[in-house]
Amino acid sequence: MIDAHQAERIVEAALLAADGPVSILRLANLFTAEDLGERSAQTLVREALDALGRRTAGRGYELVRVASGFRFQVRQEFSPWVSRLFDERAPRYSRALLETLALIVYRQPVTRGDIEQVRGVAVSSSIMRTLSERGWIQAVGQRETPGRPTLFGTTRRFLDDFNLQSLDQLPPFEDLQSFVATHGEDAQAEPTPDETRPLAEVVQLPVGEQ
């Protein structure tokens, strides 16, 4: 003979272990004659379900009745948090995309042709589309050369997403070599001695010295 508290915990355990809703009949069949004594299994189950319904009031989950029986269900109000468990892992952007973005950032306004010239390979349309859809780049005009190619620049959204107030906050190009030396995996460039020098001075350096 089991008592009502025991029965309640068995029903609780069964509902939590089951893969879907469980009918009252199936729950009743969990109990043996020995468990029951003179009592009706279905009555025992119903009383247990009542108790469990009361117990889960105000919890993260609730007891719900659906067509095929009873189940515990996470409350809808917690969906915003719980759903984060199941968010897909973000894919990673390709190197080609990052290089394209970097060139647009540093050399804007630029055309696809400009980017292709520096990268040495064609820029795929899907990269430009991805960057546009992400809201990081936009067409800012057209160059008045044959074909009137579109000029691209970065957006405010780009600054927001990279937590920048203005592009000024990015390291000037001249510092990149040393930046890569400390952060990149395959950098062979030595840090330039003038990396902390303000931009204005750098500008005056003869190109050949860099």
Partner 1 sequence: MSDAPTRLDAARERRDNVVALIDGKVFDELPADLYIPPDALEVCLEAFEGPLDLLLYLIRRQNLDILDIEVAEVTEQYLRYIDLMKALKLDLAGEYLLMAAMLAEIKSRLLLPQPAAEDEEEDPRAELVRRLQEYERLKRAAENLDELPRQDRDLFGAHAGKPEWVKARVQPTVDLKELMVALAEVLRRADLHQTHAVQLEGLSVRERMSDILARVNAASGFVAFDALFDPREGRRGVVVTFLALLELAREALVDLVQNAPFSPIYVRPPQARETS
Q: Which residues bind a copy of itself (CB under 8 A)?
A: 8-14, 16-18, 22, 26, 29-31, 58-61, 72, 74-75, 78, 81-82, 84-85
Residue 8 touches partner 1, criterion: CB under 8 A: no
Q: Which of 54, 62, 61, 68 is nearest to 22 (CA)?
A: 68
Residues 6 or more apart whose Cβ sits within 8 Å of residue 105? 154, 158, 167, 170
């579109």: which residue's tokens? Answer: 150
Measured from the CB atom, the residue of 38 and 144 that comes closer to partner 1 is 144
Closest contact distance (angstroms) between CB of 54 and a copy of itself is 14
Among 2, 179, 194, 195, binds partner 1 (CB under 8 A): 179
CA pair distance 204, 206, nearest whole angstrom: 6
24 binds, among partner 1, a copy of itself, none (CB under 5 to 8 A by kind): none
Q: Is 122 in the site for partner 1 (CB under 8 A)?
A: yes
Q: Is 102 left (phi over 0), alpha (psi -120 to 50) or beta?
A: alpha
The Cβ of residue 136 has, within 10 Å, a number of other Cβ atoms equal to: 19
Say if residue 80 is preceded by a cis peptide, omega within 30 of 0: no
68 lines the binding site for partner 1 (CB under 8 A): no
- CA–CA distances in Å: residue 155 to residues 101, 105, 106, 107, 149: 12, 10, 13, 14, 19
Q: Identify the residue among 39, 172, 191, 195 touching partner 1 (CB under 8 A).
A: 172
Which residues from 128-157 bind partner 1, rule CB under 8 A? 134, 138, 140-146, 148, 151, 153-154
Q: Is the Cβ of residue 16 or residue 98 nearer to a copy of itself in the bound state?
A: 16
Residue 8 binds what, of a copy of itself, partner 1, none (CB under 5 to 8 Å, by partner type)?
A: a copy of itself
Give the x-and-dash track for 76-105 against partner 1 (CB under 8 A): x-xxx-xx--xxxxxxxxxxxxxx-xxx-x
- Closer residue to a copy of itself (CB): 60 or 135: 60
**CB of residue 13 vs partner 1: minimum separation in angstroms?**
8
Give strand ranges (E) for the chain. Answer: 61-66, 69-74, 137-142, 150-154
| Total residues found in the chain within this entry | 210
